[in-house]
Amino acid sequence: MISFCLFLLLSSVLCLLVFFRFRVFFSIFSFIFFCMLFYLFSYFLFFFVFCIFFFCLFFFSFFYFF
């Protein structure tokens, strides 16, 4: 939950940077698009890190016991 909030905060900061950098007509649309994109990316990244962590844990425990 804390990591999710952190990702959400990071995405909002990134979107604000994008929003202020490209102040044109489509800036609001790009703002929404980047928010959604980063939101999806954070889920995939969290899942990927979670899988790597459990794989390493399993790997080291396997070699530790045998």
Please state whether the predicted TM-score (pTM) of the whole model is above 0.75: no
- Collapsing DSSP states into helix, strand and coil, what is residue 1? coil
Residue 60's pLDDT is 75
Tens of pLDDT, residue by residue over 54-66, are 887 777 777 766 6
Q: Two tokens at 6?
A: 């952190």
Tens of pLDDT, residue by residue over 25-49, are 556 666 777 777 777 777 777 788 8
The DSSP output letter for 66 is -
**Please, are residues 46 and 3 in contact by the beta-carbon 8 Å criterion?**
yes
Residue 12's pLDDT is 73
User: In the chain, what are the domain boundaries?
Assistant: 2-65
Residue 33's pLDDT is 76
* DSSP secondary structure letters along 9-37: HHHHHHHHHHHHH--STTHHHHHHHHHHH
CA 58 from centroid of its chain's CA atoms: 25
